[in-house]
Amino acid sequence: MDFDGLVKEIAIIDSTIISAIAEKCKQISWMQTDYSRGEPPLKEGRLVVFPYVIKPRDYSPGVDQRALLELCLPVCTRIREIFSQCIFIRGEIATLPPGVELGWHVDPMWFHEHCHRIHVPIITDSRCVQLWEGSSQHLCAGKIYEINNRRRHSARNGSEDFRVHLIFDLCHETTWADYVSKGGNPNVMTCDPAL
């Protein structure tokens, strides 16, 4: 969902919640194929997907993934309080290995255009930045941000640790209901994913 600017801070999450998620994330072997991404500009990243409306075919999280998702539920509750007229369309735990920069892109799906794109950094430091053409910003752990994913963007992890963000797409209930009632397919590409 386009808004003026590139990123805006929305709220803060209790540090004990963030710490519990971070500790679980540190126990994960992120380089295993279970966490691979397929999208060309994002293939260097790692991923755990939440089981919401939009999810990969045959999605069945392992025991460790399920435990991690459960730790994230208080974050989801807080976001739901803020965006009370919206529903969760998609969610993920996106991890960027040390020294990696994602490819430049504009998020290409229908839901990307019509959702609030929310980031909640879990593990990060000042060397981890969100990038837009001509601009960069470090997103602090434990804060809720909305980013403008309709502008060409990337992310860089310049640290020695895995950078972990929770990322959620929330769509206004009426927008989603209208789209679905008209037979819309939220997985239809609406722009070139290579951008």
Q: pLDDT tens digits, residue range 147-175? A: 998 899 999 999 999 999 999 999 999 99
Average pLDDT over every residue of 131-135: 92
User: pTM for this structure?
Assistant: 0.90
Confidence at residue 62, expressed as pLDDT on a 0 to 100 scale? 65
Confidence at residue 112, expressed as pLDDT on a 0 to 100 scale? 86
Confidence at residue 116, expressed as pLDDT on a 0 to 100 scale? 95
* Candidate from 64-68, 166-170, 175-179, 189-193 with smallest mean pLDDT: 189-193
Confidence at residue 34, expressed as pLDDT on a 0 to 100 scale? 81
Tokens of 135: 């601009």
Residue 47 has what DSSP assignment?
Answer: E
Confidence at residue 39, expressed as pLDDT on a 0 to 100 scale? 80
Listed residue (66, 32, 27) closest to 50, CA to CA: 66
* Candidate from 12-21, 91-100, 158-167, 179-188 with smallest mean pLDDT: 179-188
Q: Where are the beta strands (DSSP E) in 5-99?
A: 7-12, 46-49, 86-96
pLDDT in tens, 77-116: 999 999 999 999 888 899 999 999 999 998 888 888 899 9
CB 130 within 8 A of CB 147: yes
Contacts of 30 (CB under 8 A, 6+ apart): 46, 95, 97, 162
